[in-house]
Amino acid sequence: MFNKQYDIICIGDVTSDAFIRLKDARINCKINNHDCELCLRFGDKVPFEYVKVVKGVGNAANASVASARMGLHTALISNVGDDENGRDCRMELEKNKIDISYVKVNKNKSTNYHFVLWYDVDRTILVNHVDYDYRLPEFRAPKWLYLTSIGNNPTSYYKEILDYLNTNPKVKLAFQPGSQQIKLGYHELQAFYKKTEVLVVNLEEAEKILINIKLVGPNFKNDPKSMLKYFSKLGPKLIIITDGPKGAYMFDGEHYYLMPIYPDPRPPLERTGCGDAWASTFVAALALGKTPLEALMLAPINPMSVAQYVGAQQGLLKLDQMKWWLEKAPIDYRPTEV
């Protein structure tokens, strides 16, 4: 295993998602259409349409599948339990041509299982991360490490990863922080931000990170360009802030760009995994030798496709399929300086 050469190795937790399609709910949003709440009748029986279970998902697993489908030699470092759910997750990852040699099976532990409350085209996820004994295995240095959501944020595990990056300075780091990593705070992970080649966060995540370290005040909310500037002071070379239907913003240290979303061919079904699809497609394109602007053109195509299916992986495309969609793109589908 140690002698295998990988283009990209993703690090993060694996789960199964049970999608519960709600029939009777309500969405309440503040005036800016952010800070929305899913409302159900408390203490009542709430009807739903059906349940669909998707195995072998999660930020790192989704990134692995996207990378593998784009033709990159991909491995995943993760943990599962020695239960049926864990076996199913590993089988699903293998089907997607991901090397699971570094997916550790933990004895007497269960595998992560999340419930996705799906209403309209969006969702709220009920999560429960199992407390695993995280250890970094030995592996040959890849071109890229893709670090994302880890459940209980073990300090010793982050130290192992950081030591690996220090020992292998040619390995490029892509960082897509998960909710627990954002909650842990910048100061605990500042060494990772400094080493990051590509940082991808959505607008709400960007606000949380910067406000928590007191770099910005409330007046910076919904101002991606200003936030990109502040993120650049933390160390990442390429910073991307995605903003849903408004597109994505990128700062390369000199220029600010706005990339629109790829137009939906039909109304989206649900959007779970669209953020993972965007981030991982961008990084995979760089690993394939694309320039940042070329990667910026490819990145929105996978989320468009993912939103046409239930779950984060079914809609992920191969590179030739993405090129087909790129050829069909409208004339205004291109990055513009802002």
Kindly report, residue by residue over 8-63, the tens digit of the pLDDT. 999 999 999 999 999 888 888 875 666 788 888 888 888 899 999 999 999 999 99
The span from the CA of 158 to the CA of 192, in Å, is 9
User: Does the pLDDT value for residue 1 go beyond 60?
Assistant: no
145 pLDDT tier (thresholds 50, 70, 90): very high
Which residue's structure tokens are 């061919």? 265
Burial 318-337, CB ≥16 within 10 A → b, else e: ebeebeebeeeeeeebebee
User: Does the pLDDT value for residue 177 go beyond 90?
Assistant: yes
User: Does the pLDDT value for residue 312 go beyond 70?
Assistant: yes
Looking at residue 220, what is its pLDDT? 67
User: Does the pLDDT value for residue 243 go beyond 90?
Assistant: yes
- Average pLDDT in the chain: 93
Looking at residue 37, what is its pLDDT? 85
Contact 50, 270 (CB under 8 A): no
pTM of the model: 0.94
128 pLDDT tier (thresholds 50, 70, 90): confident
The span from the CA of 99 to the CA of 4, in Å, is 10
Which range among 94-98, 155-159, 169-173, 279-283 shows the weakest confidence by mean pLDDT? 155-159
Give the residue-averaged pLDDT of 87-108: 97
Burial 191-213, CB ≥16 within 10 A → b, else e: ebbebbbbbbbbbbbbbbbbeee
**Tokens linked to 312:** 């984060």
First-to-final CA distance of the chain: 46
Reduced to 3 states (helix: H, G, I; strand: E, B; else coil), residue 99 is strand
Contact 281, 305 (CB under 8 A): no
**Tokens linked to 89:** 């997750």
For the chain, what are the domain ranges? Answer: 8-14+59-109+129-337
What are 219-226's contacts with CB under 8 Å, separation 24+?
A: 222/32, 222/34, 224/249, 225/249, 225/251, 225/256, 225/338
**Tokens linked to 262:** 């790829």
Q: Which CATH class is domain 8-14+59-109+129-337?
A: alpha beta
